[in-house]
Structure 1
Amino acid sequence: MASSLACMAAIVAILVTTKDRPLSEWDFYFSIPATLAFLGLIAKSTAAIGVGACISQYKWLYFKRKPRKLTDLDLLEEASRGPLGSLILLARRPMGLASIGAIVTLLAMAVEVFVQQMVQFNPRDVVFDDGKAVLGLAHTYNGGARPIGVVTTIDSLRASTADRSMQGAVYRGLFNLDSPSVFDCASKCQWTGTYVSLGFTSTCADVTDATLRSHTNASATWNGTSSGRQEDMNLITPGGVNLEAVYSATSWQTVVSVGGLSRISSDQVSNASGDEPVLMPPDIARIAVFRTPVDATDWIIWADKMEIVECDVEVAAYRYSNLSSSGSELTIGDVEMVRLDPGTVTIDGIHADMLMFDQPGLPVLQARLPDIAALAQLYASTRFIGSIYDGETPPLPPGGLGDAFRSGNISRTMQDMANSMTDQLRASREVKGDGQSIRQVVFVEVEWGWIILPIAVQVISAAFLLLILVQSARTKDLPLWKSSTTALLTYDVRFSEDENGVGNLGTGVKSLKELDALGESVKARLELAQHGSSTATAPDDSGSPSIKGLEAHVYPVNTR
């Protein structure tokens, strides 16, 4: 029983020390389930030895108290040998404390299963600072554009040096194409800090009514009664962007018209060569989009159906926080666009070079003026502005990027373009935001509820042992012979006529020392009784020997 309790204590110790720990920390030769199963087997087996011995000892107590049927001796012996005998004992004739031992023997069969069921292995997400989680950011935009003249103006850029990747980002955003990756992560990652990056933004407003109010005779021009002269069908938005809204009734019409102009002041840039610092706003360009549904019957543009949206594109800052990634997807929990105040123009030799934003709460952000000018030039050129027509005989081929605005929300499309440009800038990883990798690690989890049965088996076994020891000690002339077969051979059944068929189990061996000496000094041979002969009989009512109904009780005799 001491060995059994020690094994159970070892099981509990293993579970306590490994609970909520990574499985990889277990470096024993055998796995945790194998070790627990082995300890559970030893705990069960050693407890079964103690319980079996106690059941064997109990038979002496059982027969000492009063006469019992001799078949009970077999039941107790079988119960002491294992689960089957215990089951038979409980089914046929429960016997006091022996029934407790039988129940424990049966419950002990499940100890190994319950012990193994206590431990489970489940993967968990674990954070590692391994340097493999990198978030792309940028505090400087340097696309490589170069000026021709002394100072940077819209007209002095070398077109061949314009940042083609950023111009490609404009097209990607307008047509909803994939942007380059802005982070590195092996599998799953997280970024728990706040990260700032230079980027771009777009601010849009619906200016349909304001634009029409500024047009002369707008109601006549776009209600089907106009003379149809093209020069009468130009629009100017409140921001000064020119748009076309031309149609020829029954023939063709404008569907989308895109206009743009630069917001960079050449005069401000030119003055940057002076001694005084020059401030310049982060504006890049102003873009306007006219859109109307197709009238496939009359090809007329109706004033109540057209839509005019004006957008300003500018440099901005972004704050990102609560970021995570899984696979190729980056999830940004919180993003804040921060508008930039006018920045300071810096001089590189004789050229206006950087537009620097040193704003409280933000790192120093910079954008090269030639690259900003190149973007402004793109938005004001026929590569971006132009019209899309529909009808039988349109006057000109389609021009510009009007196809990007034929459907969907215009403001959303413009912001998608700005986001694509921001991603292109961040993809340079000019600044890196370090995050944490998340990997699945198998942890040991313990379900303590399963330990109830093993502990119950241990407690009941120990209590059963103590009860048998106490009762054996209190019973006079009862040696602790337990399951000794030699002890059983020294007993015989004796009858007397005044006992009414109750036999006495008696032996002349009164101590373990005598029993050991007897076992060493006496030799025996198995001799089968002749057919028809019998031993240990009890008289029946006619006086003839009979085994039926024989009962006996144990008492020691001095006769050898």
Structure 2
Amino acid sequence: MAAPYVHQQSSFSEVGLAPTSELVEPAGRPSPEPVVDTSKRGHSPTVSVTSTWTTSSPASSQGSVKEKNGTQPNFGRSRVISQITWIPEIICLSIGLAAIGSVIGILAHFNDRTLPSWPYSITLNTIIALLTALANGTLAVPLSNGISQLKWDQFKKKSTPLTDMDLFDQASRGPLGAFKLIARARGRTMGSFGASITILAFALGPFSQQVATYQNRMIGTDRAAKLPVAVNYTGVLPGDSSSNGFVPILPMKAAVYNGLFAEANPLAPLTVTCETGNCTWPAVNSLAVCSTCIDVTSMMSRYCENGVPGNGNYSECGWQLPNGSKLNSSADVFSMTSMLPSPFGLLPYTTILQLFFLGTEAQSGVPLNYNPWAKQCTLEYCVQTIETAVVDGKLSQNVTTVTKNTSTVDVGTTEGTLPVSITAPNTSSSLFISEAAALGIQSWFSTLFANGSASRNSTVGTIATDQSVVVNLTVGISSGTTYFDNDIVQTFYWDYYEYTDGIGKAMTDLATAMTVAFRSFNGVNQIPGIAFGMEVHLHVRWSWIVVPVLVVFSTIIFLALVTLNACRHKVPLWKSNTLAVMFCGVGLDHDARKLFRGKQNLHERVDVAKHVRVRLDEQGNMAAT
């Protein structure tokens, strides 16, 4: 192999682009003639910037090749320069580490908390995106320069295809080149490691954004939440026309009619204050009206108004209960009998009303196919322990406990009664209804719930009165013309066929409506509750932070390995400096240069470069091997 043309090497701060006349020749040696390329006609001769000068030993400093400043090239300085000039990469790496650490710190601080309110509408996502972009940009510096430095290490250690110079440069610029380097790694473990980090770093932004999610949560606010609770009821008016001199106030009458005739929610009229639309209250005790219904069909017996027929035929007879409630004849399909408490202690003195319902047809049976039944329903004063909530503006309550006073009291006179008093559970306080209020309700109910029946007898005149209601019903098996003694009978008859346990439902609605009236008049306490408002909270999904943390620590490890490798192999710290490539190109030996002659474009030269193997020698020259 022909002797290579070698130019004098030195550090970048000391070497010009080519040897010049300012270089000092060794004493006693002829000046080298420049190599002139005259192969191209019509063009100025090209002077090669290589020469046969070599560096003499340190002992012959008098005849050695010197540069402008007269200093000798010293590659031993590259180790010191390597240790010093990694400082920019270390600074960038520190900034990237601090940025990711700040993201983690901010997320940890605001995790499960309300989103902060910052000026200029700056959001938490903006801060995370800014810090992530800062980390991405700063981490790219040690990654890019580290991969670029590895190419010099590759040429230093062994003979390497010249095209690897471009392969490493592409890998240092982005993920596409990194993929190429990994695909053609051929054992370049450190280069593949750096390329993998470069690819993974592109997931830094998306993964950082996925860490923070936002959830709507209900939290307590200082907005108003008030629940009316009845501790007593005294609503009454004097009434000379009533049986006992008292009548209910109009709001109570309206509540009773609403409970009987309105098919809407009877709890709706209750005025509850909840400014946010979502409120809760602790369990409270409130004066209320309760209803119960039981089946007493087993107590029914046949009833014949004019006695048992001589022929023993009961087909024209009706039915009755032991208390006297009856269906007069087979023509009656439904009856309602009321019983009000006596002042002589026949019923618990909290009882408001008892109703007995009898019928001859099952709810889902066949018309005129007798299947008699009977129910006893009771309306009474009570204390309810209630759990109340308003959810999305809708009121709901759950009665957890019902307390009653089952004692009977013999007043001893028909002219009065006692105040109804009930002790609330878990307290020593009593809730009560005044004597006058109880008498007013009792007096009105004795008229409102007058005994009555429903019949489908074609002879209207025999049962119709001025109060009768004639209806052509279209509900259940009761379809057809039906005659009712009053509206209340019609209501319960309709509910029986219209709803499952229709009579029980009607009694519950009546009790609820009266309870709402109790909680809407004098004697009401406003119980404070908690008004909840919707607030957005930060929820951190920590599993998504793994990739950003992995990128940072992998970059730290990669830079440490590259730094140690450069020091161990005494590789010049050229990194991605393009001037270093130019200097190395000048140092190609003569045989290698001949291979590129006649190749006019980059593509042809790249094809040749694939087969040219060079090695970085101790003087920093790229010598063909």
- Give TM-score, length-normalised by structure 1: 0.75
Change (3 A) 1:218 1:412: farther
Which residue number corresponds to residue 111 of structure 2? 19
Counterpart secondary structure, 2:173: coil
In structure 2, distance between residues paired with 1:473 and 1:155: 114
The runs of at least 4 aligned residues of structure 1 exceeding 6 Å deviation read 213-219, 343-346, 350-353, 529-534
Instruction: Name the residue aligned to 1:462.
Output: 556
Looking at structure 1, the residues matched to 354 and 513 of structure 2 have their Cα atoms a distance apart, in angstroms, of 18
Q: Deviations over 1:252-276 (max 9, x none)?
A: x2232222233152x79xxxxxxxx
**Does the Cα contact within 8 Å between 1:22 and 1:442 map onto a contact in 2?**
yes
Which of 195, 198, 211 is the equivalent residue of 2:284? 195
Q: In 1, distance between residues paired with 2:116 and 2:311?
A: 76
Superimposed CA distance per residue, residues 341-362 of structure 1 (whole angstroms, 9 cap, x where no aligned partner) = 559999xxx9988444456635
Measure how far apart 1:555 and its partner are.
2.5
Against the structure 1 CA distance between its residues 32 and 369, is the aligned structure 2 distance closer, same or farther, given a 3 Å change threshold? same
The residue type equivalent to 2:197 in the other structure is V
2:439 is paired with a residue whose SS is helix
Residue 143 of structure 1: aligned partner: 235
Figure out how many residues of one structure are paired with residues of the other and give that number. 482
Output the CA distance in 1 between the equivalents of 2:299 and 2:416.
Answer: 40
Aligned position for 2:245: 157
In structure 2, what is the Cα distance between the partners aligned to 1:553 and 1:223?
Answer: 131
Higher mean C-alpha displacement, 55-64 vs 363-372: 363-372
Give the one of 185, 192, 208 matched to 1:115. 208
Residue 395 of structure 2: aligned partner: 330
Q: Work out whether residues 378 and 384 of structure 1, in 8 Å CA contact, stay in contact via their aligned partners in 2.
A: no
Give the residue type in structure 1 aligned to 2:492: F
Structure 2 CA distance, aligned partners of 1:116 and 1:470?
Answer: 35
Looking at structure 2, the residues matched to 204 and 494 of structure 1 have their Cα atoms a distance apart, in angstroms, of 110
The whole-number CA distance in structure 2 between the counterparts of 1:399 and 1:551 is 117
2:515 maps to a residue whose letter is T
Deviations 1:495-520 (A, max 9, x none): 669xxx679xxxxxxxxxxxxxxxxx
Aligned match of 1:552 in 614, 617, 621?
A: 614
**Aligned residue type for 2:568:** R
Counterpart of 1:287?
A: 355
Partner amino acid, structure 1, of 2:138: T
Where 2:382 maps in the other structure, the secondary structure is strand
| Counterpart for residue 516 of structure 1 | none
Deviation at 1:384, TM superposition (A): 4.0
Query: In structure 2, what is the Cα distance between the partners aligned to 1:84 and 1:483?
Result: 17
What's the counterpart of residue 13 of structure 2?
A: none
In 2, the alpha carbon distance for the partners of 1:14 and 1:178 equals 50
CA contact (8 A) 1:345 1:356 kept: no
Aligned-pair distance for 1:131?
4.9
Gaps in structure 2 of 5+ consecutive residues:
1-92, 469-483
Q: For 2:135, which of 35, 43, 50 is the aligned residue?
A: 43
CA distance in 2, matches of 1:453, 1:218: 96
Match of 2:572 in 1: 479
What is the aligned partner in structure 2 of residue 519 from structure 1? none
The amino acid across from 2:114 in the alignment is P
1:423 aligns with 2:496: no
Paired amino acid for 1:67? S
Secondary structure (helix, strand or coil) at the match of 2:301 reads helix
Query: Aligned equivalents of 2:131 and 2:157: distance in 1?
Result: 39
Matched residue type, 1:200? V
State the shift of 1:125 in Å. 2.6
- CA-CA distance at 1:479 after TM superposition: 3.2
Q: Kindly report the root-mean-square deviation, in angstroms, between the aligned alpha carbons of the 2 structures.
A: 3.9
Q: Is the 8 A contact 2:162 2:610 kept in 1?
A: no
Compute the displacement of 1:441 (Å): 1.8
Deviations 1:285-312 (A, max 9, x none): 3322232239xxxx9896xx33333333
Task: Give, in angstroms, the shift of residue 15 of structure 1.
Answer: 1.4
| Percent of residue pairs bearing the same amino acid type | 24
Aligned with 1:22: secondary structure? coil
Does residue 31 (structure 1) correspond to residue 123 (structure 2)? The answer is: yes
Distance between the aligned counterparts of 1:119 and 1:285, measured in 2?
62
1:94-493 equivalences in 2 (<5 Å):
94=186, 95-126=188-219, 128-146=220-238, 148=240, 155-159=243-247, 162-175=248-261, 176-179=263-266, 180-182=268-270, 183-186=272-275, 188-191=277-280, 193-210=282-299, 212=301, 220=309, 225=314, 237-239=321-323, 243-246=326-329, 253-265=331-343, 281-293=349-361, 305-321=371-387, 323-342=388-407, 354-358=419-423, 361-362=426-427, 363-381=429-447, 384-394=450-460, 395=462, 396=464, 397=468, 398-400=484-486, 401-406=488-493, 407-408=496-497, 409=501, 410-428=503-521, 430-476=524-570, 478-492=571-585
**Cα distance change, pair 290–314 in 1 and its aligned pair in 2 (3 A):** same
Q: Retained in 1: the 8 A contact 2:332–2:453?
A: yes
**Alpha carbons 1:3, 1:43 under 8 Å: kept:** yes
Change (3 A) 1:67 1:291: same
**Runs of 5+ unmatched residues, structure 1:** 248-252, 269-278, 504-528, 539-545
In 1, the alpha carbon distance for the partners of 2:295 and 2:514 equals 23
3-state SS in 1 of match to 2:122: coil
CA distance, structure 1, for counterparts of residue 447 and residue 589 of structure 2: 131
Query: CA–CA distance in 2 between the matches of 1:364 and 1:254?
Result: 45
Distance 1:136 1:382, change over 3 A: closer
Q: Are residues 26 and 224 of structure 1, via their aligned partners in 2, closer, same or farther at CA, if it must alter by over 3 Å?
A: farther
- Cα separation, partners in 2 of 1:489 and 1:29, compared to 1, 3 Å: farther
Partner Cα distance (2:589, 2:319) in 1? 138
